[in-house]
Structure 1
Amino acid sequence: MKKLLFALLFPALIFAQKMSTVKGKITNKFKDPIEGVAISYLGQGTTTDKNGFFEFKIPVRKTVAVTFSHVSYKTFTKKFTTRGVRTINFSPTLEIKNQDLEEIIIKNRKKEVQGITDINIKTVETSVGANSGIENVLMTLPGVNNNNELSTQYNVRGGNFDENLVYVNGIEIYRPFLIRSGQQEGLSFINTHLVQNINFSAGGFQAKYGDKLSSVLDITYRKPKEFQTQVDLSLLGGSITVEDVFLDKKLSAVVSARYRDNSLLVNSKQIEADFNPNFTDIQTLVTYTLNDKIDINFLGNFSLNNYDYKPLRRSTRFGTVADPIELTVFYQGQEEDTFQTLFGALSLDYKVSEDFNLTGTLSSFNTQEEEHFDIAAAYRLGEVNTNIGDENFGEADFTQGIGSQINHARNDLDALITSAQVRAVLKDGDNEWRAGVKYQTENIKDRIREWEVIDSVGFSVRPPATNFINEQPYVPFTGPITPFQSVRADNEVDTHRFSGFVQFSRKTSWNDHDIWFNVGVRAQHWSVNPVGLNSKSQIIVSPRAQFAIKPDWESDMLFRLSGGLYAQPPFYRELRGFDGQVNPNTKAQKAIHMVLGNDYSFKLWDRPFKLTTELYYKDLSDVNAYSIDNVRIRYRADNVTDAYAYGLDMRLNGEFIPGSDSWVSFGFLKTEENINNRGYIARPTDQRIKLGVLFQDYVPNLPDLKAYLNLVYNTGVPGGAPAYADPYDFQNRLRDYRRADLGVSYIFVDANKKATNGFLTNFKELTAGIELFNMFDIQNSITNTWVRDVFSKRQFGIPNFMTGRVLNVKLKMKF
């Protein structure tokens, strides 16, 4: 009888064990996660965690009504039915119960009314790119451009790399001075494993941010709450991050060490070379809570970049299909560069009262840089045989030009930047006051020894001069050999800066419309004291304002207007002209900014989306014109240029795939400059059209298998000009920049997928994946190499191509 009863019940027992999983994230209409949502079903229940995530199981082949409820939001019920075991991804958006609660949520939209883009750290951690990290995600935003995947630098709305502010925990971050190519940059200062919040503004930012012309990247590092170790490994390097709390959680510390080797990327380029580029970085953040009012923080960083480069051979074809030309170059010599930086900052946060906070910071940055190279190159410029029936088809069989050049440098730089600042925040209901003062000193010691000798068919080519006509090689010159380019200088510069700001913000209403505004002003006095030259002092004042209104409309719309007079006092690199000499009379570049923006939040496919649109205009004066070679910027240091920039930025972001945030961005830009009243020409950063896509997806029946795609399309920028050439005569553009990076990963363990047995129980998180960089193997160019044709005396701009298709494997572990 027992056997018969078991036989009858066994199928039912097996069926009862079959369960499907429902998981997702609950947010409000502003995409903020909602913690503590009660989820009830079949007499059971669960709640969402602090990030809004939930997970529960339901039986298959049964309709289950699930109720979602929260004290501040409207309750709703959803029915689920599954025919087999599967995972259902469901990420609902809860509606606010009443207008009063909506007012509370509006206060959390402070970043939106300020025109600040808030980037989710999870999006950064899963991004795919040769330089994965925060800057890699920025490249997909409208108005942010760079056609160099080996560099973490970026241009914003027509500005250059030196016009972007970067803060970590309120402290300004600097980069090395002598780096001239993305291959030498190594690691970004920002360590993704330490980041908590990422805020980015592409223009029209507040007075509390410093004196730069283009953008602000404001990073906040997190404070550890428990012991945790994270290890990341890939074919490009690895990192280890350890964090813990001590002394009854009064002391917290996190240390992260990173190592990167770019050999995998640089060996995919067109130049055959013996590369050894390796970069090491150690960062730490220590916080001690003295009492409930005072926190003491220390942020430290050590970075060492070693770049050893021995080029061997290069072969590049260019021109048209009917008239192809091949450049072949043979190299001798090597380049050895070292960039060592030290950074330390000590800060004290004093919470005087609930509404009044003070922060004091002392920081110091030191960089010691060596750039030493001796490279000889012999080149041949030849016509390619296009006769299909010829046995030499495809080979360069007629030489148009033969020449050589020798490049030499012994450049050394030592910079020490020290600052002290105090900032205050006072809140009074809907009013907020912010103020701050800062003192900064900069000591720069720079020794420049750099020259280039060019030889064409046996004759040394002299640099062009007003009293010399170069007729070589037809008429030989019998005088001494003169370098075609030569920079020789010894500079020591001390700069002292006093700066301060004050700003006022208020949230109010007009009828039923919500209004927010901010007004503020910055000022800076600086003095430049070069050894052997007269010192120079100058003052700038920078008023700024922002206004935002959220109309009481049925549609969720927000309008913004911001602008002001922005100024950028010269840093050392801007003081140094093409000849290497310092001009202490160089003035601050100035720009009038106007930005008009709109945010439209709506639902599509029952999921939240937002369309952000911004129109902007910049009128620039006292501009310090420059040239760009890869990431090296050289200034004229004369302030004789006027310029302008205007454009349109648009971004649509939302859950194109349920539970995954993705976006599509579009940008149009036009920027031109007028050098010494000669007429307007395109600036080196005139990147007209930008299209970026960041897309995340997963397999419906296997949601732990995820895919990430980064697409970037930029129209070409001006390709630069040969040395001593007039930029007005060289306005040809580089080819368009097109790149697609694809990543696929599988989550073995994470916060929503716990292991119950086996070795996986040792991990808090375990993810493995592969990445395919430049998946279509498109040849993108970053600069031109200029080569002479001795017959026609023409200068050929030969594109320097970036990295090809590269496969990377990575592993992420948390313990």
Structure 2
Amino acid sequence: MKSALRRVACLSTGLLMCHPALAQLQGRNVGDVLKDLRAQGLIFIYNDQIVPANLRVEAEPGATRGLELAREILAAHGLSLSEAAPRVYAVVRDSSNASTRPPPPRKQEPERLEEVVVQTSRYVLATDNIAPKKFLTQDEVQAMPRLADETLRAVQRLPGAATNGVSSLGPIRGGEPNETAILLNGLRLYEPFHLKNFYSPVSLLDSRLIDGIEFYSGGFPAPYGDRMSAIIDARTIRPAERYYEAGISFFHTSALAATGFGDGRGRALISARRGNLGDLAQFAEEDFGKPDYSDGFARAEYALTDSTHISFDALASGDQITAKRDDGTQQARARYRNAYLWLTLEHDWSPDLSSRVIGSFTDLVNERRGSVEQPGQRSGRVKDDRTFHIAGLRLENTWDTGAFTHRFGGEIRKLWGDYDYSLDLTVSPDYPFPGSPGSVTTRRASPAPEGYENSAYWDMRTTLGQRWTIETGLRVDVQTYDGSDDGEQVSPRLSVLYQLSPATTLRAGWGRFFQSQGINELQVEDGISTFYPAQHADHVIASLEHAFDEGFNLRVEAYRKYYRELNPRFENMLDPLVLFPEAEFDRVKVDARGARAEGIEVLMQMRPRGPWSGWLSYTWSQVTDRIGSEDVPRSWDQRHAINLGVTWASGPWTATVINSFHSGWPTTELPIDPTTGVPRIDVSVRNRSRLEDFNSLDMRLTRTFLMPRGALDVFIELTNATSRDNPCCVEYEPRQNADGSTSYVRDFSSWLPLIPSAGVLWRY
């Protein structure tokens, strides 16, 4: 019965990282048990004299997991644990000679079930809570190869994500990247990326700060809104005692400090991070420019009473970038400053009713300058200054009435912004191809939008009988800063869970998801000076999950998204990696009246077996825009995607190898004029051909050393270890033929080559 309950608890959450029960340990090797506990986020350091190979578990322990289990089986042999750093323990001899004491009796307390999660498409990442519902522990995410120590690259390993290997956040289930909302400790973050006009390779979510990420790839509940595709809800670590970190790698220098105060009623945390890419740029063979960026985070929380808690969070970042291309004929400079401040008050009115209030202020400053000077071809200047301010107040309530659990609340935001954009661009005749007409483009825009975003939601969950759980909700959103009246956007949601057997769970979900154009998303660079109406997408999702006795979990999920009332967007058909997208000849307007995304995702996960664990996922998907009477693939459409990950963790060593593959993304092959042999721009053939398939083999090796004070983590990492050419961009190069004529050949450039990294982190 107990093992059946554990399987139900695992499956009821929809998360596949369920640790196997460590039962019948009597007679097992003590060292093997400690290695198994490594999968629960614990590191044990010892030698063969302290824990010899023939040391066995003498009696069945009462504890079932974690430190309690480790301490119990070691105590029977006169051994104990000494904490060297958070989650790092040295096995030492116990001076009290605990081996003479009989082992404690086995506990017979009933096992508690975890929270029932009804939503489909939900994963929980990066948590040190070893409850069965967790998909990946924090240590496992830290062990993953992730370029620039980027936390969000863990999300890209999950089914449904489309990755190019550069951006920290890619399209989710066919949606644009801006269809994903990112939250930190309850606050939605606007533009939380470094180098955001240069493919946003690094987010403001410092991997050392993040304790957990709850990720919805679709079908998210009513408390979340105003996005059409996905939700990333992150929370920071909360050390209760004094703790310090200092680290340096190829990409970052970082420091973190935490302490408790007020007789244990308060906690404080502060961290800072600086990018090292600008320092490394001076060693490059070519002068590509210099990116400098930094960020910092601070949090203080205090328990006013046993039922009332208050906290203050601050997140700030600054960027200063210079970039060059084509021997300096194209140059860009950008400065960004982000600041987020929020105060949270939580109160438990009773054991069944609780509330949370979040007051916030966000300040964003973006400045961009650019020039292009290509004699005989084109010349131009770009000036782009934008500032935005958002003041918000959010109320959340949870009320458990026994048969029903309700969540309800609302939010009001005051927003105001200023744009100052100008472009002067002169293109000479015969550029980019002979016969191309010349042009002069002048744009001026300085809108100053101001207004409100208001929302309210209600969400209810109930259990019917022994097998059914239903969650339903309703959300209403209104925006007024665009100077027009789009009316109220009403978003109903419904999720159903059916427990087919103790090992098998079925889920289904449906919902409507609206997305307004953010105050910071006005497309002035493409000549758009007014906001579009809100878009929406309908999600239909069904999933099946099964836990096999052999230590494997299987999840199969099918989804379909129908987009309606889509807004036009602008893309570069041939080369997305440019300094000034709006100044390129291949810039086109994509005006689709609707779109459809659909797919089937399969995830098989191997629960930890000794030092080994891993996963394998496969996704078939397609996403198309309805343009006129045709279905045109979106530029990130990938029919097949496979992710394979294997982790080996033993003692102080951890090694992870991940291979990511997906079908080649669509691209455009320009038609060649049969008379002149010159390519010509034809939007009707956009995305009718495909690039070669993408594949990246990434690996990371970490060794933890016990120091006289704390512990030292040393890692090496390779991104795209085989240095595979993964095409991203197309350029038409003129070639001189033997007969003196000129022909044009497509020349491909690639995403990132092999990128090595290494670093150290001191924890004490």
Q: Which amino acid aligns with 1:427?
A: D
Q: 1:527 corresponds to which residue?
A: 480
Larger radius of gyration: 1
1:307 is paired with a residue whose SS is strand
In structure 2, relative to structure 1, the CA distance for the partners of 1:583 and 1:454 (3 Å cut) is same
Structure 1 gap segments, 5+ residues each: 1-26, 79-95, 314-329, 379-402, 463-469, 750-759
Whether 2:486 is the aligned partner of 1:493: answer no
Question: What is the CA–CA distance in structure 1 between the aligned matches of 2:287 and 2:511, rounded to whole Å?
Answer: 49
Q: 1:69 corresponds to which residue?
A: 62
Q: 1:682 corresponds to which residue?
A: 633
Counterparts of 1:236-385 in structure 2, within 5 Å, are 236-262=251-277, 272-311=286-325, 313=326, 330-332=327-329, 334-377=331-374
Question: What is the CA–CA distance in structure 2 between the aligned matches of 1:357 and 1:446, rounded to whole Å?
Answer: 41
The answer as to whether partners of 1:116 and 1:201 remain within 8 angstroms in 2 is yes
After TM superposition, give the deviation of residue 39 of structure 1 in Å: 7.5
After TM superposition, give the deviation of residue 155 of structure 1 in Å: 0.8
Question: What is the CA–CA distance in structure 1 between the aligned matches of 2:196 and 2:730, rounded to whole Å?
Answer: 14
Q: 1:136 corresponds to which residue?
A: 153
Deviations 1:159-211 (A, max 9, x none): 0111001111221111069966546x363122222222221111111111112
The answer as to whether partners of 2:570 and 2:589 remain within 8 angstroms in 1 is no
1:207 is paired with a residue whose SS is coil
Q: 1:738 corresponds to which residue?
A: 695
Whether 2:721 is the aligned partner of 1:772: answer no
Counterparts of 1:703-718 in structure 2, within 5 Å, are 703-718=651-666
Whether 2:399 is the aligned partner of 1:426: answer yes
Whether 2:492 is the aligned partner of 1:543: answer yes
Q: Which amino acid aligns with 1:170?
A: G
Identity of aligned residues (%): 18
Question: What is the CA–CA distance in structure 1 between the aligned matches of 2:663 and 2:39, rounded to whole Å?
Answer: 43
Question: What is the CA–CA distance in structure 2 between the aligned matches of 1:340 and 1:687, rounded to whole Å?
Answer: 35
Deviations 1:718-744 (A, max 9, x none): 236999955432223233221111111
Counterparts of 1:665-676 in structure 2, within 5 Å, are 665-675=617-627
Counterparts of 1:62-141 in structure 2, within 5 Å, are 65-70=58-63, 101=110, 104-105=112-113, 108-111=114-117, 114-119=120-125, 120-141=137-158
Q: Which amino acid aligns with 1:367?
A: L
The answer as to whether partners of 1:670 and 1:687 remain within 8 angstroms in 2 is yes
Question: What is the CA–CA distance in structure 1 between the aligned matches of 2:269 and 2:257, rounded to whole Å?
Answer: 6
Question: What is the CA–CA distance in structure 2 between the aligned matches of 1:288 and 1:726, rounded to whole Å?
Answer: 62
Deviations 1:561-620 (A, max 9, x none): 001111112224654366322234x2211111100011111232xxx3211111001111
The answer as to whether partners of 1:657 and 1:696 remain within 8 angstroms in 2 is no
After TM superposition, give the deviation of residue 785 of structure 1 in Å: 4.4
1:538 is paired with a residue whose SS is coil
Question: What is the CA–CA distance in structure 2 between the aligned matches of 1:578 and 1:309, rounded to whole Å?
Answer: 19
In structure 2, relative to structure 1, the CA distance for the partners of 1:591 and 1:726 (3 Å cut) is farther
Deviations 1:636-689 (A, max 9, x none): 9997511111101111122365245421111111111112x2421111221221
1:501 is paired with a residue whose SS is strand
Q: Which amino acid aligns with 1:238?
A: T
In structure 2, relative to structure 1, the CA distance for the partners of 1:133 and 1:334 (3 Å cut) is closer
After TM superposition, give the deviation of residue 282 of structure 1 in Å: 0.4
In structure 2, relative to structure 1, the CA distance for the partners of 1:662 and 1:41 (3 Å cut) is closer
After TM superposition, give the deviation of residue 242 of structure 1 in Å: 0.4
After TM superposition, give the deviation of residue 239 of structure 1 in Å: 0.9
Question: What is the CA–CA distance in structure 2 between the aligned matches of 1:792 and 1:63, rounded to whole Å?
Answer: 82
The answer as to whether partners of 1:186 and 1:260 remain within 8 angstroms in 2 is no
In structure 2, relative to structure 1, the CA distance for the partners of 1:709 and 1:58 (3 Å cut) is closer
Question: What is the CA–CA distance in structure 2 between the aligned matches of 1:377 and 1:412, rounded to whole Å?
Answer: 25
The answer as to whether partners of 2:244 and 2:258 remain within 8 angstroms in 1 is yes
In structure 2, relative to structure 1, the CA distance for the partners of 1:34 and 1:665 (3 Å cut) is closer
Q: Choose the corresponding residue for 2:642, options 676, 688, 691.
A: 691
Q: Which amino acid aligns with 1:777?
A: S
Query: How big is the alpha-carbon RMSD for the aligned residues of Structure 1 and Structure 2?
Result: 3.9
Q: 1:591 corresponds to which residue?
A: 537
The answer as to whether partners of 1:527 and 1:538 remain within 8 angstroms in 2 is no
The answer as to whether partners of 1:577 and 1:637 remain within 8 angstroms in 2 is no
Question: What is the CA–CA distance in structure 2 between the aligned matches of 1:62 and 1:640, rounded to whole Å?
Answer: 68
Whether 2:667 is the aligned partner of 1:719: answer yes
After TM superposition, give the deviation of residue 123 of structure 1 in Å: 1.9
After TM superposition, give the deviation of residue 284 of structure 1 in Å: 1.0
Question: What is the CA–CA distance in structure 1 between the aligned matches of 2:506 and 2:319, rounded to whole Å?
Answer: 45
Deviations 1:273-311 (A, max 9, x none): 242112100011111111111111111111011111233
The answer as to whether partners of 1:413 and 1:446 remain within 8 angstroms in 2 is yes
1:491 is paired with a residue whose SS is coil
Question: What is the CA–CA distance in structure 2 between the aligned matches of 1:594 and 1:639, rounded to whole Å?
Answer: 25
In structure 2, relative to structure 1, the CA distance for the partners of 1:798 and 1:261 (3 Å cut) is farther
Question: What is the CA–CA distance in structure 1 between the aligned matches of 2:712 and 2:220, rounded to whole Å?
Answer: 39
Structure number with higher strand proportion: 1
The answer as to whether partners of 1:785 and 1:799 remain within 8 angstroms in 2 is yes
Counterparts of 1:453-464 in structure 2, within 5 Å, are 453-455=426-428, 459=429, 461=431
Q: 1:9 corresponds to which residue?
A: none
Q: 2:512 corresponds to which residue?
A: 565
Question: What is the CA–CA distance in structure 1 between the aligned matches of 2:117 and 2:588, rounded to whole Å?
Answer: 37
Q: 2:527 corresponds to which residue?
A: 580
Question: What is the CA–CA distance in structure 1 between the aligned matches of 2:179 and 2:272, rounded to whole Å?
Answer: 29
> Taking structure 2 as the reference length, what is the TM-score of the superposition?
0.80
Whether 2:748 is the aligned partner of 1:799: answer yes
The answer as to whether partners of 2:421 and 2:524 remain within 8 angstroms in 1 is no
The answer as to whether partners of 1:544 and 1:563 remain within 8 angstroms in 2 is yes
In structure 2, relative to structure 1, the CA distance for the partners of 1:307 and 1:547 (3 Å cut) is same
After TM superposition, give the deviation of residue 255 of structure 1 in Å: 0.5
Deviations 1:491-526 (A, max 9, x none): 22123111110010013324xxx2211000111111
Structure 2 gap segments, 5+ residues each: 11-16, 74-105, 126-136, 671-678
Question: What is the CA–CA distance in structure 2 between the aligned matches of 1:267 and 1:721, rounded to whole Å?
Answer: 37
Counterparts of 1:497-512 in structure 2, within 5 Å, are 497-510=453-466
1:551 is paired with a residue whose SS is strand
Question: What is the CA–CA distance in structure 2 between the aligned matches of 1:35 and 1:693, rounded to whole Å?
Answer: 25
Question: What is the CA–CA distance in structure 2 between the aligned matches of 1:712 and 1:346, rounded to whole Å?
Answer: 40
Q: 2:84 corresponds to which residue?
A: none
After TM superposition, give the deviation of residue 67 of structure 1 in Å: 2.1
Q: Which amino acid aligns with 2:142?
A: E
After TM superposition, give the deviation of residue 527 of structure 1 in Å: 1.6
Matched length: 676
Q: Choose the corresponding residue for 1:164, options 180, 183, 187.
A: 180
Question: What is the CA–CA distance in structure 2 between the aligned matches of 1:522 and 1:40, rounded to whole Å?
Answer: 53
